[in-house]
Structure 1
Amino acid sequence: MTLTLFIAAIVLMALGFPVAFALAMSAALAVFVGGRYPQLVVFKEMFTGIDSFPLMAVPFFILAAELMSGGALTAVLLRFAAQFVGHLRGGLGYANVLSLTLFSGISGSALADAAGPGSMMVKMMDKAGYSRAYAAALTSSTAIVGPIIPPSISMIIYAMQDEQVSVGGLFIAGFVPGLLIALAMAFVNWRVCKKRDYRSTEPRPSAREMLVNSVKAIPALMLIVLILVGIRFGIFTPTEASVVAVFYALACGKWVYRTLEWKALPDIISRSALLTASVLLVMATSAAFAWVLTVEGVPQQLSQTIVSWNLSPVAFLIAVNLLLLVFGIFMEPLPGVMILVPILAPIASALGIDPTHFAMVVIVNLTLGMITPPVGGLLFVTAVSTRVSMAALTRELPPFLVAHFVVLALLTFVPAISTWLPHTLGF
């Protein structure tokens, strides 16, 4: 069954099947070839994989992000970010990084960040004389901060697979790595803009304009504060926090910014439902795929094999990084978390690796796969939304990938980057 499972999944994805369909079809084929279980078990495991109360946070966080976007949040954050750096050399590039980082604290989705504020920034950079392909590469490379800075859908799913970590703890742990990635992208932007002489034509705003823009941005920025403070002090659970976020976003869009119209709600809800369905479908099929691996004893065999190598914690982390980098080229982060975490997390714990540290290494590593050719789902979304060819976009990626790998190395070998803040706050 195991051989059939992997061969079928690889062939189907190579043929261009969506990941969810490839996982479901390979699981069904493996069960059919094995002959020990009825085909119905695949559908049972798909349902079991999404039959979870914590998963209710996913559609609500997605809906909150859509409501904030529909309520002019994107424009508010863009003005807020651009006023600090827009007048500098490469200023719109810095504004791109800053605005996407701020928006990450609301959306939790790299795809939403790239398709929303990211595409708007690419248009602005193109008009200012930047290479459109460079602007698109900067956008896709920065957008992966979305699943790392809370609220993050990947973190919610990870906490479901490893009981040693909590959603709140992972949310807090994502701050420093997310900010490091943003700083790394800003550094690459500085180097490229200096080399290509991308000068800013934006005038420096007056003190009064900066004050007005900052005050307008406060309600939007308070959403992430509300979520984290509420979770930290036990006011509500992460699932309840997602519902609070929806009502807060609705109130901001309708009564604070006064740009959200009631007639826009059906479209916002339908987009949220479509995105939620795609996320849950991937999770459901990943659960069926993981079940086949479990009944075949693959996790146990792999664990015993790795333990028998007597690897040190550092050697194990290096091996895991190499595995995840290869795995992430062909697989999206969510199925990666669903399939690999139940296998790798217990081994990491047995070696004495901090569960929060290991979780952040896995999440950041798998998220990098979204901008790693040839699959890179985030690259396709960015290319389509910005109308840049994949070839041109890929040519601009190398300096950004190098910066990401440097941050990943720091995260791997300096555990305090991901553990200091959650431990200090009592998680």
Structure 2
Amino acid sequence: MAISVFAAVSFGSTYPNIVLVKEMFSGLDSFPLLAVPFFILAAEIMTGGAITQAVLRLAQSLVGHLRGGLGHANVVSSAMFAGISGSALADAAGPGTMMIRMMEKGGYDRAYAGALTIASSVVGPIIPPSITMIIYAMQDQNVSVGSLFMAGVLPGLVITLAVLIANGRMSHLRGYASGAPMPGMAEIARIAFYAVPALLLILLIVGGIRFGVFTPTEASVIAVFYALIVGMFVYRSLKLRHLPDIILRAALTSAAVLLILGAARAFAWNLIIEGIPQFLAETIIAWDLSPIVFLLAVNLLLLVFGLFMDPLPGVMILVPILAPISFALGIDPNHFAIIVIVNLTLGLTTPPVGSLIFIVSSTVALKPSTLIREMPPFFIALALALLAITFMPVLSTWLPEVSGF
């Protein structure tokens, strides 16, 4: 993106080349963006050691006794970790990797376990907290981070349910048995109690924002301190000697994310000075589409766009173009935001630039093409979930409304 802007400025405009650096810096010079590195750091602290084991054990105790139980545990644990990490890639690289190993030991095909992990990790940016939602709220003044956090809960659960059904169907066809006998209620209660400190993070963040105790940026800092306290004094798996490596990993991830956001801001600026967003908006409005047809067209556009670009730059480039049109058509801003975020996140599961495919491919030592061949049942499940989210606005609007956003 940065190279394309540099070429456009150098050969197609009278602007000086330094404008690229200026626009990249302007894209990062934002107080709400401070939440991104802090949420990444909190996720690095929370997704290790005993914390990960506690959530995985809870997921397995709840659904591990069903047919395809280890696969179900994979999906449920991804939904739980979504409330901790806010990132699909973090879910796949951390707990997802552990679940793939467990599934393979339980008799599942390694490629199938990897494909299931790819599909289940989609909920990472949908269930709050979500880095993608923070970036979206910066592009559309009709939504807030808090309202998007609430709007993502039910759609995230719908996606989880769709992948669970697909895994149940495939497990039945392939004869994947349950992972373990159903534990007693006392055992489930004990495991759940042990996992409560890890899962309370999502309530702390969303509740604190909802009741005005702190802003999303402040919530990200509080999440870091909460993660430190839980890791060091509750689970006692985090030691001071671990912190330098954790901070380094978080810094590298943050640098990569923020450089992409800066380049996306410069790219979006170049589109604006060329008049492309205005032209597209006028063209779409002139078509006089109904809201339903417009949403279907947006779904198709974003699914194609997601084949070639990750969600964060996609949000920065497309939302300023599409969000005003959807608002003019009377579409609820939170509903439209969730549709955009889900569509772009699905791009992480599709080639040629599907980041989840390549992360899981490296962890399971399989070719991406091998994983892709196992994906069709999950593509169908995710597509049906997307249609449900599109045609049932209440999934995205009910919780923000009852929560006062």
1:40 partnered with 2:18: yes
1:212 maps to 190
Q: 1:90 aligns with which of 38, 55, 68?
A: 68
Q: Distance in 1 between matches of 2:214 and 2:195?
A: 25
Partner residue of 1:408?
Answer: 386
Tell me if 1:135 matches 2:113. yes
User: Given that residues 106 and 179 in structure 2 are in contact (C-alpha distance below 8 angstroms), is that contact kept between their aligned partners in structure 1?
Assistant: yes
Alignment partner, residue 377 of structure 2: 399
Q: Which moved more, 1:326-335 or 1:379-388?
A: 379-388
Counterpart for residue 176 of structure 1? 154
Query: Do 1:81 and 1:99's aligned partners in 2 also have CA atoms closer than 8 Å?
Result: yes
Q: Deviations over 1:365-409 (max 9, x none)?
A: 010000012221111011111222212100110010111111111
Q: Which amino acid aligns with 1:26?
A: S
Runs of 4+ residues over 4 Å off in structure 1: none
Q: Which residue of 1 aligns with 2:362?
A: 384
SS at match of 2:94: helix
Offset, 1:71:
4.8
The answer to whether the Cα contact below 8 Å between 2:78 and 2:95 also exists between their aligned partners in 1 is: yes
- 1:166-220 CA deviation, whole Å, 9 max, x = no partner? 0000000000000000000100011000011101242333444323211110101
Distance 2:331 2:180 in 1: 48
Quick one: distance in 2 between partners of 1:349 and 1:206?
50
Query: Which residue is 2:9 aligned to?
Result: 31
Number of matched residues? 405
Give the residue type in structure 2 aligned to 1:347: I
Superposition map of 1:245-260 within 5 A = 245-260=223-238
Kept after mapping to 2: 8 A contact 1:365/1:408? yes
1:142-221 equivalences under 5 Å are: 142-221=120-199
| RMSD of equivalent CA atoms | 0.9
For residues 407 and 201 of structure 1, what CA distance do their matches in structure 2 show?
27
Alignment counterpart, residue 290 of structure 1, candidates 264, 268, 271: 268
- Identity percentage of aligned residues: 61
Segments of 5+ residues of structure 1 without an aligned counterpart are: 1-22
Look up the equivalent residue of 1:205 and give its one-letter code.
P
Moved more, 248-257 or 313-322: 313-322
> Are 2:47 and 2:85, in contact at CA under 8 Å, matched by a contact in 1?
no
For 1:312, the equivalent position in structure 2 comes to: 290
Would the aligned equivalents of 1:328 and 1:370 in 2 still touch at CA under 8 Å? Answer: yes
Is the 2:70–2:179 contact (alpha carbons within 8 Å) kept by the matching residues of 1? no
Instruction: State the TM-score, normalizing by the size of structure 1.
Output: 0.93
Once the two structures are overlaid, the 10-residue window that deviates more, 279-288 or 384-393, is 384-393
Moved more, 112-121 or 69-78: 69-78
Distance 1:35 1:399 in 2: 48
- Is it true that 1:363 corresponds to 2:346 in the alignment? no
Which structure 2 residue ranges, 5 or more long, are not aligned? none
Does 2:102 match 1:124? yes
- Code of the residue aligned with 2:372 in structure 1: it is T
Instruction: Output the TM-score relative to the length of structure 2.
Output: 0.99
Distance in 2 (alpha carbons) for counterparts of 1:29 and 1:379: 31
Equivalent pair of 1:58/1:276 in contact (CA under 8 Å): yes
Would the aligned equivalents of 1:333 and 1:366 in 2 still touch at CA under 8 Å?
yes
CA contact (8 A) 2:68 2:179 kept: no
Residue 62 in 1 paired to residue 73 in 2? no
1:412 deviation in Å? 1.1
Give the counterpart letter for 1:223 in structure 2. L
Deviates more, 1:245-254 or 1:412-421: 412-421
**Paired residues of 1:356 and 1:418 also in contact (CA < 8 A):** yes
Q: 2:105, 2:81 → 1: CA distance?
A: 22
Asked if structure 2 preserves the Cα contact closer than 8 Å seen for 1:72 and 1:259, the reply is yes
Which residue of structure 2 aligns with residue 19 of structure 1?
A: none
Deviations 1:219-239 (A, max 9, x none): 011110011110010000011
